[in-house]
Structure 1
Amino acid sequence: MDFFAYKNNKLYCEDVDLQDIAMECGTPCYVYSKKTLERHVEVYKNAFKTKNNLICFSVKSLSNISILELINKNGCGFDVVSGGELKRALYIGADPKKIIFSGVGKSYDEILLGIQEGILSFNVESEAEVYRIEEIASLRNKIVDVAIRFNPEVDSGGHEYIKTGRKGDKFGISSDDSVLKIANYIYESKNLNLVGLACHIGSQIMDLESYRLTAKNIKELSIKIKEIGNKLDFLDLGGGLGIPYENDKTPSPQDLISIIEAELMDAEERIVLEPGRSISGNAGVLLTKVEYIKDNFLIADAAMNDLLRPALYKAKHDVWSLTESKAIDQVWTIVGPVCESADVIAKDHPINADVGDILAIKTAGAYGFVMSSNYNSRVRPAEILVDGQTFNIVRSRESFDDLIKNEINLND
């Protein structure tokens, strides 16, 4: 559910006409709904029957500090995958004890920052990472909490690029024997404390059976780990729940959590989830203006540098006109101005549109702005947050000065 809807034939975000935002802020621009974000967080929180849980929002899906502050105020922790994301979470006042640091390539400085801030856990993904964290902790006379990320051998997720829980994927540790070996090493370490077991099987997952198998696997492996050491604090099942991009039916957070809680009914550990897309995805749209019509092409001012998903994953996004039509009698391929044939927003899409019209690319809140770039020396778009009848710019549109501010002209 989201709060983008037609009222009197005009497309609104909550109680704001999107045309007004386009006219005042220009296009392309991202528009987020505060009410939608809050609603999705509340759905996750209310879905748990047990209070022994933690929801860590995936910062990589949408990292604007105003959005993170909103999610923090609504009681979530954060899943981060870089030092920059960790600094964003800390900047908005997140509780370090509700921050989990994932990712396969944590640098020395990133680990040091996490240790200094006292985060909940590093989700370790290799033996080498365990040794590095131990070394840094030892040098600073610290005991650091870690969780082991393992691959449950569940093949799930949308595009091949977002499947992450199989043997051979770069993420996690692939065999139970390797996990147990690392667990034993951590238990014997003076500077490491094993607090959890973690996994993440992919993204845009529609099949709840994949989650049931994952919960079953993590429970069985946790029992083996506890046989060689102390009890664990949490079991982290990651995120990845799919959302509808083209009116497709998707499982709800309630469905997901019901499956997980049923499988982990006897587990002592608290349950950690890392939702991203299912909170932020349909909370945002990308507004774009039609610049030209050429044959069957609508040439818009938004491009693959603004929204990479269609080019990278062949992802499909619904596109709406800001004016509701009773009958649609046109089919267009909507493209951007970037000099790549892959710069296609939507192919053979039914929509009534003309030059100068504003279009809304739906379900663009997750992996939208965060994956944007300055390719073709294009400035990145503004971000706007709607709250009821008001809206605020939460990131200004870049300027040419922004493009070159870190460059050095050797002739000056």
Structure 2
Amino acid sequence: MHHFVYRQGELFAEEVPVSRIAEEVGTPVYIYSAATLRRHYRVFDEAFSDLPHLVCYSVKANSNLAVLRLLAREGAGADIVSGGELFRALRAGIPPERIVFSGVGKTEREMEEALSAGILMFNVESLGELEALSRVARRLGRPAPFSIRVNPDVDPRTHPYISTGLKKNKFGLPEEVAYRAYLRAKEDPYLRPVGVDCHIGSQLTELSPFVEALRRLKGLYLRLREEGFEELRYLDLGGGLGIVYGEEEPPPPAAYAEAIKREFRDLDAVLVLEPGRVIAGNAGILVTRVLYVKTNPPSGESSEGRTFVIVDAGMNDLIRPTLYQAYHRISPVRERPGIESIRADVVGPICESGDFLARERRLPPVSPGDLLCVFSAGAYGFVMASNYNSRPRAAEVLVDGERYFVVRKREDYEDLVRLEEIPDEL
């Protein structure tokens, strides 16, 4: 469920017309719904209310400070993958004891920052990282709480770029390697094994991969407890629950929770969950304005010409369609019922043939100046934006009821060169 609805043919974000935001803030613009973010977090969190658990929102999905602050006030922790995300989470008011640090490439500087801040635990992904964490902890004179990310070799049946739980992926350690690493770490006074972790991928639409991964993780957890790991308390299942972009039918959080709880009830552990997309994905849209419409003449391959709807948002604003061949529903901000649709490519201004938001998509006829809405853009949208082609990044807006706030100003040309210098010698 989300709070982007049409009323008398006009798209609203909660109680605010989307066209009003576009006129006053400009396009392209990301718009987030506070009511949707709150609802999605509460539905997910409440599904696990009868288990000891901690919901650590995956900051990489959408790291805007206002979004993080809103979720912090709902009680969310944070799953981070960089020192920058740690900085954002702390700035937004997320308590450090509710932060877990994932990612395969943590630097020692990032480890120092996180350990000094007092985070809940590091999700360690390699033997070399575990050794580095010990060095950092020894320098700081404080033991580092950690879990090891286990690669359970479970196929999540998702896009290969966002699959993370197979042996061929770069993430985590095989179970036996992780087990031996725990045994070695037990002898190190600067390493505190407090949990076991895994995360098998993103945009999962079936429950069986989650259950299979949990069973394997649970086996290792119990084995370690029998070995005397008394501080072992957390079992981190990661995130990955999918959302509806088009025709997908992912399980709702309640069904996901029931499947997990059936496997978890007999464990003396705190369940850690790292949802991102399922919280933020359908809580955001990208609004873009049509610049031009053109039709190329038929080629030898087709008896029809190719129509292009050229808009002011490109792959630098939303890269998912180009990178993952991802589908996003696209509709006019003002509906035009009863008009025969056209088939068109919705493309941006970037000088790449791969710059598109949709291909061969059925749309109502549009004209220059019309506004289009790209739905389900609240996760992995702005966070993956770039300045390619020296394009300033879009503004971000948060709507809360009848009010809206610009929570990230649109960049200007000066922002593009702010950190650059021309040497005097040139």
TM-score scaled to structure 2, two decimals?
Answer: 0.95
Name whichever of 29-38 and 213-222 sits farther off: 213-222
Quote how far apart the aligned CAs of 1:157 are. Answer: 4.5
Q: For residues 74-223 of structure 1, what are the structure 2 equivalents within 5 Å?
A: 74-174=74-174, 176-223=175-222
Contact residue 55 and residue 275 of structure 1 kept, 8 A: yes
Runs (4+) of structure 1 moved beyond 3 Å?
none
Q: Which residue in the other structure is 2:26 paired with?
A: 26
Quote how far apart the aligned CAs of 1:223 are. Answer: 1.2
Matched letter for residue 342 of structure 1: G
Aligned counterparts of 1:297 and 1:25: Cα–Cα separation in 2: 26
Q: Secondary structure at the match of 1:333?
A: strand
Quote how far apart the aligned CAs of 1:146 are. Answer: 0.4
Name whichever of 99-108 and 347-356 sits farther off: 347-356
Q: Which residue in the other structure is 2:267 paired with?
A: 267
Q: Which residue in the other structure is 2:37 paired with?
A: 37
Q: Secondary structure at the match of 1:250?
A: coil
Q: Which residue of 390, 401, 408 maps to 1:388?
A: 401
RMSD: 1.1
Quote how far apart the aligned CAs of 1:248 are. Answer: 2.6
Quote how far apart the aligned CAs of 1:247 are. Answer: 4.0
Aligned counterparts of 1:37 and 1:367: Cα–Cα separation in 2: 15
Quote how far apart the aligned CAs of 1:207 are. Answer: 1.1
Aligned counterparts of 1:79 and 1:359: Cα–Cα separation in 2: 33
Q: Secondary structure at the match of 2:41?
A: helix
Q: Secondary structure at the match of 1:349?
A: strand
Quote how far apart the aligned CAs of 1:410 are. Answer: 1.9
Long gaps (5+) in structure 1: none
Matched letter for residue 78 of structure 1: A
Q: Secondary structure at the match of 1:110?
A: helix
Aligned counterparts of 1:62 and 1:145: Cα–Cα separation in 2: 26
Matched letter for residue 406 of structure 1: L
Q: Which residue in the other structure is 2:13 paired with?
A: 13
Q: Which residue in the other structure is 2:304 paired with?
A: none
Q: Which residue in the other structure is 1:369 paired with?
A: 382
Q: Which residue in the other structure is 2:322 paired with?
A: 311
Q: Secondary structure at the match of 1:346?
A: strand
Quote how far apart the aligned CAs of 1:49 are. Answer: 4.2
Q: For residues 337-376 of structure 1, what are the structure 2 equivalents within 5 Å?
A: 337-352=349-364, 353-376=366-389
Matched, 1:293 2:293: yes
Aligned counterparts of 1:51 and 1:204: Cα–Cα separation in 2: 24
Aligned counterparts of 1:249 and 1:97: Cα–Cα separation in 2: 35
Quote how far apart the aligned CAs of 1:320 are. Answer: 1.1
Aligned counterparts of 2:358 and 2:241: Cα–Cα separation in 1: 23
Q: Which residue in the other structure is 1:325 paired with?
A: 336
Contact residue 38 and residue 71 of structure 1 kept, 8 A: yes
Q: Secondary structure at the match of 2:242?
A: coil
Long gaps (5+) in structure 2: 296-306
Q: Which residue of 402, 407, 411 maps to 1:398?
A: 411
Matched letter for residue 217 of structure 1: R
Q: Secondary structure at the match of 1:177?
A: helix
Contact residue 30 and residue 285 of structure 2 kept, 8 A: yes
Q: Secondary structure at the match of 2:35?
A: helix
When the two structures are aligned, how many residues end up with a matched partner? 411
Contact residue 56 and residue 77 of structure 1 kept, 8 A: yes
Aligned counterparts of 1:389 and 1:178: Cα–Cα separation in 2: 54
Aligned counterparts of 1:49 and 1:182: Cα–Cα separation in 2: 33
Matched, 1:225 2:237: no
Q: Which residue in the other structure is 1:408 paired with?
A: 421
Q: Secondary structure at the match of 2:398?
A: strand
Q: Secondary structure at the match of 1:237?
A: strand
Contact residue 211 and residue 259 of structure 2 kept, 8 A: yes
Quote how far apart the aligned CAs of 1:339 are. Answer: 0.4
Aligned counterparts of 1:361 and 1:374: Cα–Cα separation in 2: 20
Matched letter for residue 201 of structure 1: I
Quote how far apart the aligned CAs of 1:362 are. Answer: 0.4
Contact residue 184 and residue 229 of structure 1 kept, 8 A: no
Quote how far apart the aligned CAs of 1:138 are. Answer: 1.1
